[in-house]
A and B are shown apart, each in its own frame.
Chain A
């Protein structure tokens, strides 16, 4: 698993010259590794399970436990899975270049969002169902631990 800093540097840098399918798999992996960083920081073991055929979606669900505001990146994870499917299932599409560019930006957004969440944990936020500072982790997990996002 690459660190958050390594993943940010990867997304900011020039991408390797590989075929679109590999590139799409690479972006998906970036998303998974960011989520692994998040889950590990919560002192949990990242799941190897898949949801709807994608590990990134299972990792996202795991990452939301006790942290409903993490759902703010739910659609970003789903968009990565969506673009991956488009790129793999339509290898000859004339939209390949733009799809890869979009997937790059979606992956970048996930990296930025999670990187920021990891820095600002416990600060409280303006996004949905943010947790309450004065509650202990135990209270938070019983009070808002249900994934309502």
Chain B
């Protein structure tokens, strides 16, 4: 089924959304959370934290029981709908975003999933979520469609001053295809094969986006515990490709990718004696600084990849 996006209504619709930070943004990705909230405030977009949210089921649960995973994500959507009276939930983490989308799809297409969710929800004492009541969006959709590039341009102060950026979306922003009907060709959403929303937003902020062929390639995040050396090699290849493309910064929009890039950049130096200098920064941090927010306000000091020197050198802060 192809869903055609009604862009005219989105600015109104996304002005106030439910916010689902997920576990990463309260832990390893605090700077992503901080910068997302900061730019929301600066742009006048309101975030309402989903009441009593829980794990989306992204990691271990899916390998044990995918229907429990669907339930976990459905509970987040149920709370957003029934407790917070929201019809849109924004999830900045690719894992959460993908899982909520997947739950939406499952509940719309699979009777068994509906039965399981209904049964567990009743047992847990809350209303079961029914597909079609809450729209899940990513932070990229939120700003690109909910605020708009023309409006964003007016908010840019110092800008990114030609900072060369490789935009890295990771594997889950566009996969699996069937759960993102709005990204199907002609539907009006981002591109499944070559996503560009982050490129578009950072270009508005004054960045120079480099051609980066590994923008949706695997970062090895899943294997970082089972085979760290392989993850290090995958990340090193991404970092080296970004540098070869001329990038000074890799912009990220997924906390798993971001942490992987930062940690394995250090590990590649220690274990493989391979040094790369490209900095890893969340796109929300870059947008915030382009809008004149201080590095501290967007949590730049919380990143492992220390980009404060580069930002000063480029005159961005």
Contact = CB atoms under 8 A, between A and B. Distances in A.
Note whether A and B form a binding pair.
yes
Interface of A: 68, 71-76, 78-79, 82-83, 98, 101-102, 105-106, 108-109, 112-113, 115-116, 119-120, 123-130, 132-134, 148-149
A137 to B, nearest CB: 16
A148 B177 contact: yes
A116 B234 contact: yes
Contacts of B66: 132
B111 interface: no
A15 to B, nearest CB: 15
B48 interface: no
Interface stretch (B124-132, B157-165, B210-218): B210-218
A149 B175 contact: yes
Contacts of A109: 214, 217-218, 234, 237-238, 241
B244 A68 contact: no
A127 B218 contact: yes
A70 to B, nearest CB: 10
Interface stretch (B199-207, B219-227, B262-270): B219-227
Interface of B: 58-59, 62-66, 95, 98, 171-172, 175-179, 193-194, 213-218, 220-223, 226-227, 230, 233-234, 237-238, 240-241, 244-245, 256
B63 A105 contact: no
Contacts of B218: 72-73, 109, 113, 127
30 contacts: A68-B176, A72-B171, A72-B175, A72-B218, A75-B193, A75-B194, A75-B215, A102-B213, A102-B244, A105-B237, A106-B241, A112-B230, A112-B234, A112-B237, A113-B218, A113-B234, A116-B220, A119-B230, A120-B227, A124-B62, A126-B59, A126-B95, A126-B222, A127-B171, A127-B172, A128-B176, A129-B175, A133-B64, A149-B175, A149-B177
